[in-house]
Amino acid sequence: MKIIPLFLVLGFISCSTQPGMVFDLWYNYDYPLYNSLYDYTFYAFRIPVNYEGQMDFEVKIYKNDYQDFRICVNQWTYKPEINEIIQYHDTCSPISGSGSYVEGDYVVYSYAFKAGAGAAYFSIDMVIPNYSAFKYIVVRVNSAKYRYSKIKELTYNTPYIIDTSIFTSTYNRIPYLYQIYIKISVFDNDKMEIQLKTHASYDPKVAFKVDVCQYVDVPTEQQVYYGNNAAKTNAEIENTSQEPELYKYPFTTDPGIKYLSISIINRLDNLDYLEIYIYSETGMAVALLVTIIVVPIIVVAAIIYAILRKCGYCNNN
């Protein structure tokens, strides 16, 4: 799977008790800080910039906790060290919150910022004035509504429609070059097909870019995004469909394969609808076999029950 090189260097658990460390982030990962709230209130984060455009720094806390954070963002042309980030800590101007939304028992506060031309890294400062008041804090850089989707765990032979309502900045249209990431459990030696449906006809050769990576074991989030250490890669699968508004990308899983990671890149700038359907020939055969075996058994059982009840062997008492 060919994607932009990414970096994910440090984990929060291993560094949680070391004040002054800089935490390296990646898009759409949740990073818990509740094990880190010991004796300091200043956190420094760092994230590589892989595209020009907007993203959100998000802080997730319990609904009843009081939101009181100071967030600063600085843009760098290189990878800054912790001492450089701290140097600008006291002079940076905090960014305003861009809204909030409820996520289960939690509330997520968003702080929007934008990458400009020439940016290589962002540093993000977060100050928690009263860290002892929080038992749960999670941070993430959310690009799911701008550039990269969260990893979707889908099921074969089941349609999935992309929720375009999250793309408010592009008028409910999936952004140009938006990347959709999927993880799915599959059969080996199986003929499969990724089917994409739209509400309008587009150039079948350039509308989408589809890559598939095959794995023996369940891929990690990092493998899904990067496509590394795959047993096999089906890169840039060609569309074979002749039907308008339907795009088909066929491939076959190798022996021993149990999981796939899939990358779908939108190359359209006005895409307002996308349905994803992952076809499995083996899965369809298994479903048909179950139908042939199970349905007659249920019908026979119902007939026997009706006869016994009519003869007085079954009653409601």
Q: How confident is the model at residue 56 (pLDDT cuts 50, 70, 90)?
A: very high
CB 301, CB 209: distance < 8 Å: no
CA distances from residue 291 to 119, 159, 277, 295, 297 in whole angstroms, order as listed: 56, 20, 21, 5, 10
- Residue 39: the pLDDT is 47
DSSP 47: E
* Alpha-carbon gap, residue 267 to 207, rounded angstroms: 5
Give the model confidence (pLDDT) of 175-223 as tens digits: 999 999 999 999 999 999 999 999 999 999 999 999 999 999 999 888 8
Report how far Cα 178 is from the mean position of its chain's Cα atoms.
12
- Residue 304: the pLDDT is 67
Give the model confidence (pLDDT) of 75-118 as tens digits: 999 999 988 888 887 788 899 888 888 888 999 999 999 888 88
User: Left if phi > 0, otherwise alpha if psi is -120 to 50, otherwise beta: which for 200?
Assistant: beta
- Nearest in space to 31 (alpha carbons), one of 7, 55, 11: 11
CATH fold for the domain made of 152-283 = Jelly Rolls (2.60.120)
* Alpha-carbon gap, residue 284 to 310, rounded angstroms: 39
* Alpha-carbon gap, residue 317 to 314, rounded angstroms: 9
Q: Delimit the domains of the chain by residue range.
A: 12-142, 152-283
SS3 category, 291? helix
Q: How confident is the model at residue 300 (pLDDT cuts 50, 70, 90)?
A: low
* Alpha-carbon gap, residue 3 to 264, rounded angstroms: 11
Please state, rounded to an integer, the average pLDDT across all residues of the chain.
Answer: 84
- Nearest in space to 185 (alpha carbons), one of 215, 212, 160: 215
CB 181, CB 263: distance < 8 Å: yes
* Alpha-carbon gap, residue 232 to 235, rounded angstroms: 10
* % of the chain exceeding 90 in pLDDT: 49
- Residue 292: the pLDDT is 66
The two structure tokens encoding residue 138: 């999670």
State the CATH class of domain 12-142: mainly beta
* Alpha-carbon gap, residue 17 to 13, rounded angstroms: 8
